[in-house]
Amino acid sequence: MSGIATTLPIAPGALLHNKYEPMQMIGGGNFGEVWLAKDHAVDHTYAIKILKPGVTVVNQLREAQIGHAFTHNNLVRVHQADVLTDGRVIIAMDFLPDGPITTLENPANFLPLPLAIKTTVDTLQGLEHLHASSFFHNDIKPENILRGQDGQAKLGDYGIVGISQNGQPVPAPARYILHAAPETTAGNGIEARTDILQTGLTLFRLLAGLGILRAKFNFLGQANYEAALAAGTLLAASDFPPYIPNAVVRVIKKAIDPDPGKRFQSALEMRRALEKLAFPGHWTVDPGGAFIGLDKRHQFRFETIAAVGTNASLQAFKRNLQSNRETRASAFTRSNMPAAEARKLKIAFIRAVVAGKVG
Protein backbone atom coordinates (compact mmCIF):
# COMPACT_ATOMS: atom_id res chain seq x y z
CA MET A 1 0.00 0.00 0.00
CA SER A 2 1.42 3.38 -0.93
CA GLY A 3 1.93 6.21 1.55
CA ILE A 4 4.52 8.34 3.28
CA ALA A 5 6.02 7.85 6.69
CA THR A 6 5.00 10.60 9.09
CA THR A 7 5.11 11.09 12.81
CA LEU A 8 2.73 12.71 15.27
CA PRO A 9 1.75 15.46 15.49
CA ILE A 10 0.25 15.72 12.03
CA ALA A 11 0.62 19.19 10.52
CA PRO A 12 -1.81 21.06 8.26
CA GLY A 13 -0.71 20.79 4.63
CA ALA A 14 0.91 17.36 4.98
CA LEU A 15 -0.19 14.66 2.57
CA LEU A 16 -1.07 11.33 4.14
CA HIS A 17 -1.32 8.19 2.06
CA ASN A 18 -0.86 10.36 -1.02
CA LYS A 19 -4.38 11.77 -0.71
CA TYR A 20 -5.43 13.06 2.76
CA GLU A 21 -4.60 16.70 3.44
CA PRO A 22 -5.09 17.51 7.16
CA MET A 23 -6.72 20.91 7.61
CA GLN A 24 -7.54 21.27 11.31
CA MET A 25 -7.33 19.04 14.37
CA ILE A 26 -10.83 18.59 15.82
CA GLY A 27 -10.26 15.99 18.51
CA GLY A 28 -7.78 13.70 20.22
CA GLY A 29 -7.09 11.37 23.09
CA ASN A 30 -5.18 8.27 24.06
CA PHE A 31 -6.17 6.65 20.76
CA GLY A 32 -4.53 9.33 18.59
CA GLU A 33 -5.94 12.37 16.81
CA VAL A 34 -8.97 13.36 14.75
CA TRP A 35 -8.50 15.84 11.93
CA LEU A 36 -10.71 17.56 9.40
CA ALA A 37 -9.08 16.52 6.14
CA LYS A 38 -9.58 16.78 2.41
CA ASP A 39 -9.43 13.53 0.47
CA HIS A 40 -8.03 14.67 -2.86
CA ALA A 41 -8.69 11.28 -4.47
CA VAL A 42 -12.47 11.74 -4.30
CA ASP A 43 -12.58 15.51 -3.64
CA HIS A 44 -14.42 15.10 -0.34
CA THR A 45 -13.91 16.31 3.22
CA TYR A 46 -13.85 13.73 6.01
CA ALA A 47 -13.10 13.54 9.68
CA ILE A 48 -10.06 11.27 9.75
CA LYS A 49 -9.09 9.38 12.88
CA ILE A 50 -5.33 8.72 12.98
CA LEU A 51 -4.67 5.90 15.43
CA LYS A 52 -1.47 5.63 17.42
CA PRO A 53 0.58 2.47 16.98
CA GLY A 54 0.37 -0.01 19.81
CA VAL A 55 -2.00 -2.73 18.64
CA THR A 56 -1.93 -4.77 15.46
CA VAL A 57 -3.16 -3.26 12.22
CA VAL A 58 -5.81 -5.98 12.08
CA ASN A 59 -7.24 -4.87 15.42
CA GLN A 60 -7.09 -1.20 14.45
CA LEU A 61 -8.93 -1.90 11.20
CA ARG A 62 -11.68 -3.67 13.14
CA GLU A 63 -13.16 -0.32 14.20
CA ALA A 64 -13.34 0.83 10.58
CA GLN A 65 -14.89 -2.42 9.40
CA ILE A 66 -17.65 -2.16 12.02
CA GLY A 67 -18.41 1.48 11.24
CA HIS A 68 -18.46 0.74 7.51
CA ALA A 69 -21.00 -2.04 7.89
CA PHE A 70 -23.90 0.28 8.74
CA THR A 71 -25.68 3.13 6.95
CA HIS A 72 -28.25 4.02 9.61
CA ASN A 73 -29.31 7.65 10.08
CA ASN A 74 -28.41 7.52 13.78
CA LEU A 75 -24.96 5.96 13.37
CA VAL A 76 -21.79 7.73 12.25
CA ARG A 77 -20.67 6.26 8.95
CA VAL A 78 -17.11 5.09 8.35
CA HIS A 79 -16.30 5.37 4.66
CA GLN A 80 -12.82 3.89 4.33
CA ALA A 81 -9.57 3.06 6.08
CA ASP A 82 -5.94 3.15 5.02
CA VAL A 83 -2.62 2.06 6.49
CA LEU A 84 0.39 4.38 6.44
CA THR A 85 3.85 3.02 5.79
CA ASP A 86 4.73 3.55 9.46
CA GLY A 87 1.92 1.18 10.46
CA ARG A 88 -0.63 3.72 11.63
CA VAL A 89 -4.24 3.37 10.54
CA ILE A 90 -6.35 6.23 9.19
CA ILE A 91 -10.13 5.92 9.43
CA ALA A 92 -12.21 8.30 7.28
CA MET A 93 -15.62 9.07 8.79
CA ASP A 94 -18.52 11.45 8.27
CA PHE A 95 -17.51 14.99 9.13
CA LEU A 96 -20.28 16.43 11.30
CA PRO A 97 -19.45 20.13 11.74
CA ASP A 98 -21.84 20.65 14.66
CA GLY A 99 -19.77 18.28 16.79
CA PRO A 100 -20.95 16.26 19.78
CA ILE A 101 -24.22 16.89 21.57
CA THR A 102 -22.22 18.24 24.51
CA THR A 103 -21.68 21.49 22.58
CA LEU A 104 -25.33 22.31 23.33
CA GLU A 105 -24.94 22.23 27.12
CA ASN A 106 -26.11 25.36 28.92
CA PRO A 107 -24.02 27.24 31.53
CA ALA A 108 -25.17 24.72 34.16
CA ASN A 109 -23.80 21.85 32.03
CA PHE A 110 -27.08 20.16 31.16
CA LEU A 111 -29.39 19.92 28.15
CA PRO A 112 -33.05 20.99 28.16
CA LEU A 113 -35.48 18.12 28.67
CA PRO A 114 -36.87 17.91 25.09
CA LEU A 115 -33.38 17.84 23.55
CA ALA A 116 -32.07 15.26 26.03
CA ILE A 117 -35.01 12.94 25.37
CA LYS A 118 -34.80 13.33 21.59
CA THR A 119 -31.05 12.69 21.70
CA THR A 120 -31.62 9.51 23.69
CA VAL A 121 -34.42 8.30 21.42
CA ASP A 122 -32.17 8.82 18.38
CA THR A 123 -29.31 6.99 20.12
CA LEU A 124 -31.59 4.07 20.93
CA GLN A 125 -32.65 3.84 17.28
CA GLY A 126 -29.01 3.53 16.32
CA LEU A 127 -28.56 0.87 18.98
CA GLU A 128 -31.54 -1.09 17.67
CA HIS A 129 -29.75 -1.32 14.33
CA LEU A 130 -26.47 -2.43 15.93
CA HIS A 131 -28.13 -4.97 18.22
CA ALA A 132 -30.09 -6.48 15.33
CA SER A 133 -26.73 -7.56 13.90
CA SER A 134 -25.40 -8.69 17.33
CA PHE A 135 -23.05 -5.72 17.75
CA PHE A 136 -22.79 -4.19 21.24
CA HIS A 137 -21.51 -0.62 21.24
CA ASN A 138 -20.01 -0.67 24.74
CA ASP A 139 -18.97 3.01 24.76
CA ILE A 140 -22.17 5.04 24.95
CA LYS A 141 -21.51 8.44 26.50
CA PRO A 142 -22.36 12.07 25.69
CA GLU A 143 -19.05 12.70 23.92
CA ASN A 144 -19.75 9.86 21.45
CA ILE A 145 -23.12 11.24 20.36
CA LEU A 146 -22.74 13.68 17.48
CA ARG A 147 -25.15 16.11 15.84
CA GLY A 148 -26.20 15.32 12.30
CA GLN A 149 -26.95 17.90 9.66
CA ASP A 150 -30.71 17.45 10.14
CA GLY A 151 -30.50 17.80 13.90
CA GLN A 152 -30.52 14.06 14.55
CA ALA A 153 -28.21 12.42 17.07
CA LYS A 154 -25.63 10.02 15.65
CA LEU A 155 -23.83 7.47 17.78
CA GLY A 156 -20.17 7.06 16.84
CA ASP A 157 -16.83 5.62 17.94
CA TYR A 158 -16.71 1.87 17.42
CA GLY A 159 -13.33 1.33 19.03
CA ILE A 160 -14.49 -1.08 21.75
CA VAL A 161 -17.56 -2.63 20.13
CA GLY A 162 -18.30 -6.24 21.00
CA ILE A 163 -19.32 -8.66 18.24
CA SER A 164 -21.52 -11.65 19.04
CA GLN A 165 -22.41 -14.52 16.75
CA ASN A 166 -25.83 -15.08 18.29
CA GLY A 167 -26.67 -12.10 20.47
CA GLN A 168 -25.16 -13.71 23.56
CA PRO A 169 -22.74 -11.85 25.88
CA VAL A 170 -19.16 -11.49 24.68
CA PRO A 171 -15.98 -10.38 26.48
CA ALA A 172 -15.54 -6.61 26.62
CA PRO A 173 -12.58 -5.47 24.48
CA ALA A 174 -12.19 -2.59 26.95
CA ARG A 175 -14.47 -0.48 29.11
CA TYR A 176 -15.33 3.13 29.82
CA ILE A 177 -15.13 3.04 33.61
CA LEU A 178 -17.81 5.64 34.37
CA HIS A 179 -20.43 3.65 32.42
CA ALA A 180 -19.23 0.07 32.90
CA ALA A 181 -22.16 -2.13 33.88
CA PRO A 182 -21.79 -4.21 37.07
CA GLU A 183 -21.80 -7.44 35.07
CA THR A 184 -18.99 -6.11 32.89
CA THR A 185 -16.95 -5.09 35.93
CA ALA A 186 -17.52 -8.59 37.32
CA GLY A 187 -16.03 -10.09 34.15
CA ASN A 188 -19.27 -11.36 32.64
CA GLY A 189 -18.92 -9.51 29.36
CA ILE A 190 -21.21 -7.18 27.45
CA GLU A 191 -24.56 -7.56 25.75
CA ALA A 192 -27.52 -5.45 24.61
CA ARG A 193 -28.56 -4.73 28.20
CA THR A 194 -25.13 -3.31 29.09
CA ASP A 195 -25.72 -0.79 26.30
CA ILE A 196 -29.09 -0.02 27.92
CA LEU A 197 -27.38 0.78 31.22
CA GLN A 198 -24.88 3.03 29.48
CA THR A 199 -27.73 4.82 27.71
CA GLY A 200 -29.50 5.36 31.03
CA LEU A 201 -26.39 6.88 32.58
CA THR A 202 -25.94 9.03 29.49
CA LEU A 203 -29.50 10.35 29.73
CA PHE A 204 -28.95 11.11 33.41
CA ARG A 205 -25.82 13.10 32.61
CA LEU A 206 -27.50 14.99 29.79
CA LEU A 207 -30.23 16.10 32.18
CA ALA A 208 -28.56 16.43 35.57
CA GLY A 209 -25.12 17.63 34.51
CA LEU A 210 -22.45 16.25 32.22
CA GLY A 211 -19.81 16.25 34.93
CA ILE A 212 -21.80 14.74 37.79
CA LEU A 213 -20.63 11.13 37.41
CA ARG A 214 -17.01 12.16 37.04
CA ALA A 215 -17.33 14.13 40.27
CA LYS A 216 -18.79 11.09 42.03
CA PHE A 217 -16.00 8.90 40.68
CA ASN A 218 -13.33 11.33 41.88
CA PHE A 219 -14.93 11.54 45.31
CA LEU A 220 -15.62 7.83 45.83
CA GLY A 221 -12.67 6.26 44.00
CA GLN A 222 -13.05 3.50 41.45
CA ALA A 223 -13.77 0.61 43.84
CA ASN A 224 -16.48 2.45 45.79
CA TYR A 225 -17.97 3.93 42.62
CA GLU A 226 -18.30 0.49 41.03
CA ALA A 227 -19.69 -0.95 44.26
CA ALA A 228 -22.33 1.79 44.46
CA LEU A 229 -23.40 1.21 40.86
CA ALA A 230 -23.62 -2.53 41.52
CA ALA A 231 -25.69 -1.91 44.67
CA GLY A 232 -28.05 0.50 42.94
CA THR A 233 -27.06 3.36 45.26
CA LEU A 234 -24.88 5.45 42.97
CA LEU A 235 -27.71 7.85 42.17
CA ALA A 236 -29.73 9.21 45.07
CA ALA A 237 -33.05 11.04 44.84
CA SER A 238 -31.20 14.28 45.52
CA ASP A 239 -29.13 13.76 42.35
CA PHE A 240 -32.23 14.37 40.21
CA PRO A 241 -33.04 18.09 39.99
CA PRO A 242 -36.75 18.97 40.19
CA TYR A 243 -36.89 19.92 36.50
CA ILE A 244 -36.48 16.21 35.66
CA PRO A 245 -40.01 14.72 35.76
CA ASN A 246 -40.63 11.63 37.87
CA ALA A 247 -41.59 9.66 34.77
CA VAL A 248 -38.13 10.30 33.30
CA VAL A 249 -36.47 9.44 36.61
CA ARG A 250 -38.25 6.08 36.52
CA VAL A 251 -36.97 5.40 33.00
CA ILE A 252 -33.40 6.20 34.05
CA LYS A 253 -33.59 4.06 37.18
CA LYS A 254 -34.98 1.10 35.26
CA ALA A 255 -32.28 1.43 32.61
CA ILE A 256 -29.46 1.42 35.19
CA ASP A 257 -30.81 -1.29 37.48
CA PRO A 258 -27.84 -3.45 38.57
CA ASP A 259 -29.87 -6.56 37.70
CA PRO A 260 -29.93 -6.89 33.88
CA GLY A 261 -33.21 -8.78 34.15
CA LYS A 262 -34.89 -5.70 35.64
CA ARG A 263 -33.66 -3.27 32.99
CA PHE A 264 -35.34 -2.57 29.70
CA GLN A 265 -34.70 -5.72 27.74
CA SER A 266 -34.08 -3.99 24.43
CA ALA A 267 -33.28 -0.61 22.95
CA LEU A 268 -36.73 -0.67 21.36
CA GLU A 269 -38.44 -1.12 24.74
CA MET A 270 -36.56 1.81 26.25
CA ARG A 271 -37.20 3.98 23.20
CA ARG A 272 -40.93 3.30 23.34
CA ALA A 273 -40.99 4.17 27.04
CA LEU A 274 -39.45 7.57 26.29
CA GLU A 275 -41.63 8.21 23.25
CA LYS A 276 -44.74 7.84 25.40
CA LEU A 277 -43.69 10.81 27.51
CA ALA A 278 -44.76 14.36 26.71
CA PHE A 279 -44.14 17.49 28.78
CA PRO A 280 -45.55 20.93 27.98
CA GLY A 281 -42.65 22.80 29.57
CA HIS A 282 -38.98 22.55 30.43
CA TRP A 283 -36.17 24.50 32.10
CA THR A 284 -32.77 25.69 31.02
CA VAL A 285 -30.19 28.23 32.20
CA ASP A 286 -29.50 31.55 30.48
CA PRO A 287 -25.99 32.92 29.86
CA GLY A 288 -26.14 34.76 33.18
CA GLY A 289 -26.80 31.56 35.13
CA ALA A 290 -30.51 32.17 35.84
CA PHE A 291 -33.01 29.34 35.50
CA ILE A 292 -35.55 29.98 32.76
CA GLY A 293 -38.69 27.93 32.16
CA LEU A 294 -40.34 27.68 28.77
CA ASP A 295 -43.48 26.38 27.16
CA LYS A 296 -45.03 27.18 23.80
CA ARG A 297 -46.48 30.50 24.95
CA HIS A 298 -44.60 31.60 28.06
CA GLN A 299 -41.25 32.12 29.69
CA PHE A 300 -40.99 31.60 33.45
CA ARG A 301 -38.60 32.74 36.14
CA PHE A 302 -38.42 33.00 39.93
CA GLU A 303 -36.67 35.04 42.57
CA THR A 304 -35.90 33.90 46.12
CA ILE A 305 -35.46 36.86 48.45
CA ALA A 306 -34.17 36.75 52.02
CA ALA A 307 -36.80 37.94 54.51
CA VAL A 308 -36.90 38.34 58.28
CA GLY A 309 -34.41 36.14 60.14
CA THR A 310 -34.14 32.79 58.38
CA ASN A 311 -37.33 33.35 56.43
CA ALA A 312 -37.53 33.90 52.70
CA SER A 313 -39.90 35.14 50.04
CA LEU A 314 -40.51 33.60 46.62
CA GLN A 315 -41.68 35.53 43.62
CA ALA A 316 -42.63 33.57 40.49
CA PHE A 317 -43.27 35.15 37.11
CA LYS A 318 -44.56 34.20 33.69
CA ARG A 319 -44.08 36.29 30.54
CA ASN A 320 -46.26 35.95 27.47
CA LEU A 321 -43.91 35.40 24.55
CA GLN A 322 -46.26 37.11 22.10
CA SER A 323 -47.19 40.25 24.05
CA ASN A 324 -44.00 40.30 26.18
CA ARG A 325 -46.21 41.09 29.18
CA GLU A 326 -44.94 39.65 32.47
CA THR A 327 -47.22 38.84 35.39
CA ARG A 328 -46.79 37.13 38.73
CA ALA A 329 -47.70 33.47 39.06
CA SER A 330 -49.73 34.17 42.17
CA ALA A 331 -50.09 30.54 43.28
CA PHE A 332 -46.32 30.34 43.63
CA THR A 333 -45.62 33.79 45.06
CA ARG A 334 -45.48 34.15 48.84
CA SER A 335 -43.71 36.44 51.29
CA ASN A 336 -41.88 35.87 54.58
CA MET A 337 -42.14 32.13 55.06
CA PRO A 338 -39.66 29.64 56.54
CA ALA A 339 -36.80 28.96 54.14
CA ALA A 340 -37.72 25.28 53.92
CA GLU A 341 -41.22 26.20 52.73
CA ALA A 342 -39.77 28.61 50.19
CA ARG A 343 -37.65 25.79 48.77
CA LYS A 344 -40.68 23.50 48.55
CA LEU A 345 -42.70 26.20 46.80
CA LYS A 346 -39.88 26.79 44.31
CA ILE A 347 -39.72 23.08 43.54
CA ALA A 348 -43.50 23.00 43.11
CA PHE A 349 -43.25 25.91 40.64
CA ILE A 350 -40.46 24.24 38.65
CA ARG A 351 -42.46 21.03 38.38
CA ALA A 352 -45.68 22.86 37.53
CA VAL A 353 -43.97 24.56 34.58
CA VAL A 354 -42.81 21.19 33.24
CA ALA A 355 -46.28 19.72 33.70
CA GLY A 356 -47.99 22.75 32.12
CA LYS A 357 -49.93 23.53 35.31
CA VAL A 358 -49.04 27.17 35.97
CA GLY A 359 -52.27 29.15 35.78
Q: Let me know whether 160 and 286 are in one domain.
A: no
Asked whether residue 270 falls in the same domain as residue 312, the answer is no
> Is 198 part of any domain?
yes
Nearest to 141 by CA among 92, 212, 90: 212
pLDDT digits (tens, 9 = 90+) for 173-192: 999 999 999 999 999 999 99
The verdict on residue 67 lying in a domain is: yes
- Asked whether residue 251 falls in the same domain as residue 326, the answer is no
Question: Positive or negative, the Cα torsion across 241, 244, 245, 251?
Answer: negative
Closest CA to 314 of 327, 331, 302, 329: 302
Contact 256, 197 (CB under 8 A): yes
Of 245, 275, 305, which closes a domain? 275
Q: Is residue 14 part of a domain?
A: no
pTM: 0.92
> Which among 217, 213, 82 has a CA at the least distance from the CA of 143?
213
State whether 161 and 249 are in the same domain. yes
Q: Express each pLDDT in 56-104 by its tens digit.
A: 777 778 888 888 888 899 999 999 999 887 788 999 999 999 999 999 9
Do 45 and 118 belong together in one domain?
no
In order along its 359 residues, the chain shows pLDDT tens digits of 333 444 545 788 788 888 999 999 988 877 788 999 999 999 999 999 988 877 677 777 888 888 888 889 999 999 999 988 778 899 999 999 999 999 999 999 999 999 999 999 999 999 999 999 999 999 999 999 999 999 999 999 998 999 998 889 999 999 999 999 999 999 999 999 999 999 999 999 999 999 999 999 999 999 999 999 999 999 999 999 999 999 999 999 999 999 999 999 999 999 999 999 999 999 999 999 999 999 999 999 999 998 778 899 999 999 999 999 999 999 999 999 999 999 999 999 999 999 999 98
Question: What CATH number is attached to the domain comprising 83?
Answer: 3.30.200.20
Give the DSSP per-residue string, 271-290: HHHHHT---S-EEEE-TTS-
Total number of domains constituting the chain: 3
Domain range spanning residue 79? 20-93
Residues 349 and 223 in one domain: no
d(CA 190, CA 139): 11
